[in-house]
Amino acid sequence: MVSVSEAEVAHRVASDAEVIAWVDADDRLLGALPRAELRERGLIGRGTFILLFNSAGELCVHRRTLSKALYPGYWDVAAGGMVLADESYAESAARELAEELGIGGVELREHERFFFDQLDNRLWCAVFSAVSDAPLRLQPEEVLEARFIAPEQALDEALAKPYCPDSLEALRRYLAAVDR
């Protein structure tokens, strides 16, 4: 049995208390609420998804810790998270990439926004991409392991392994846009 560390538990408590941008179905700001309340009430927040590639075109995929409120232990094709009440999508993306994977000071390209609507996960999503060959520094409270693979391999693996559905949607949209 895999245990959850005290640091992960403390991180989860702090994460649930973060004050997140609360928006309507058209991405208009309504206010700000603690993350846990937003999730429990089925309200809509804002989220960022950062697809990190190396210079060979491989995508960083990572496995989430077991303490995550949504999709614990799932593989994820994007760094990212919820947009805090006082930040923009771009500020959130830069913060999340640095926190989760230890990658900072890189150019972030914004691609598109879309609405993701599942019973326990309703959010407006902003998709970003970045390229870096810098060594990853994984945040142990959020990321168990990471590796670089071809984007198509991640989509194939998602047929047999648990992958986060929201970030997979971000990847599919990104790939469809770059294939045009």
The CA distances from residue 106 to 78, 91, 148, in Å, are 15, 13, 17
Residue 1 has pLDDT above 60, yes or no: no
Question: Please, which pLDDT band fits residue 77 given cuts at 50, 70 and 90?
Answer: very high
Domain boundaries in the chain?
6-178
How far, in Å, CA of 61 to CA of 116, rounded? 20
Neighbours of 149 (CB within 10 A): 14
pLDDT at 90: 98
For residues 143 and 81, is the Cβ–Cβ distance under 8 A? Answer: no
pLDDT at 16: 75
Residue 78 has pLDDT above 80, yes or no: yes
How far, in Å, CA of 98 to CA of 105, rounded? 9
Question: Please, which pLDDT band fits residue 171 given cuts at 50, 70 and 90?
Answer: very high
Distance in Å from the first CA to the final CA of the chain: 46
Half-sphere exposure (Cβ direction) of 47: Cα atoms closer than 13 Å: 24
Q: What is the mean pLDDT of residues 28-46?
A: 94
Tell me the longest C-alpha to C-alpha distance in the chain: 47
**Whole-prediction pTM value?**
0.92
pLDDT at 120: 85
Q: Which CATH number describes the domain made up of 6-178?
A: 3.90.79.10
How far, in Å, CA of 87 to CA of 74, rounded? 27
Residue 6 has pLDDT above 90, yes or no: no
The residue type found at 6 is E
How far, in Å, CA of 7 to CA of 49, rounded? 24
Question: Please, what is the average pLDDT of the chain?
Answer: 93
Q: What is the mean pLDDT of residues 90-117?
A: 97
The CA distances from residue 119 to 44, 78, 104, 152, in Å, are 11, 21, 33, 27
Strand boundaries in the chain, DSSP class E: 19-23, 29-34, 44-53, 59-64, 75-76, 79-82, 109-118, 121-131, 143-149
